[in-house]
Amino acid sequence: MKHLITIVGPTAIGKTALSIALAQHFKCEIISCDSRQFFKEMTIGTAVPNPDELKAATHHFIQNKSIFENYTVGDYEKEALYKLEELFQNNDFAILIGGSGLYVDAILKGFDEFPEIDPEIRSEINANYEKLGIEYLQEQLKSLDPDYYQKITLENPQTLQNPQRMMRFTEVCIGTHKPYSSFLNQKKNNRNFTPVLIGLEADRQIIYDRINQRVDIMIQQGLLEEAQLLYPNKSLNALQTVGYRELFSYFDGDFSLPFAIAEIKKNTRRFSKRQLTWFKRNEVTKWFDYANDRKTIIDYIEKSL
187 pLDDT higher than 70: no
Question: What does the domain layout of the chain look like in residue ranges?
Answer: 3-111+189-304, 119-183
pLDDT at 182: 87
pLDDT value at residue 186: 65
Average pLDDT over residues 78-86: 96
The mean of the pLDDT values for the chain is: 93
Same topology, domains 3-111+189-304 and 119-183? Answer is: no
For the whole model, what pTM was predicted?
0.79
Instruction: Output the CA torsion sign for 205, 199, 242, 23.
Output: positive
**pLDDT the model gives residue 74:** 82
- Among residues 85, 77, 72, the alpha carbon closest in space to that of 107 is found at 77
**Measured CA distances, 230 to 21, 30, 39, 225, 226 (Å):** 33, 28, 12, 9, 7
What class, spelled out in words, does domain 3-111+189-304 have in CATH? alpha beta
Region 52-73: what's the mean pLDDT? Answer: 94
Question: H or E segment at 212?
Answer: helix 204-221
Cβ–Cβ under 8 Å, residues 76 and 100 = no
Work out the average pLDDT over 45-49: 94
> What pLDDT is attached to residue 237?
84
pLDDT at 73: 84
Domain 119-183 fold: Histone, subunit A (1.10.20)
- Residue 218 to residues 51, 59, 212, 292, 298: CA-CA distances in angstroms? 16, 22, 10, 26, 31
Q: What is the largest CA-CA distance in the chain?
A: 57
Does the pLDDT of residue 102 top 90, yes or no? no
What are the b/e assignments for 217-226, b being 16+ CB within 10 Å? ebbeeebbeb
Residue 188 scores a pLDDT above 70? no
Three-state secondary-structure class, residue 133: coil
Residues of the chain above pLDDT 70, percent: 98
How many Å from the N-terminal Cα to the C-terminal Cα in the chain? 9
Distance from the Cα of residue 139 to its chain's centroid: 25
- For 68, other C-beta atoms within 10 Å of its C-beta total 11
Q: Looking at residues 215-236, what average pLDDT do you find?
A: 96
In the predicted model, is pLDDT for residue 125 greater than 80?
A: yes
DSSP H or E stretch at residue 250: helix 245-251
Model confidence at 109, pLDDT cuts 50, 70, 90, reads confident
pLDDT tens sequence across 255-294: 999 999 999 999 999 999 989 988 998 899 999 999 999 9
- Going by pLDDT thresholds of 50, 70 and 90, the confidence category of residue 199 is very high
Q: Which residues contact 188 (CB under 8 A, 6 or more apart)?
A: 109
Nearest Cα residue to 199 out of 92, 61, 97, 62: 97
Per-residue pLDDT for 120 more than 90?
no
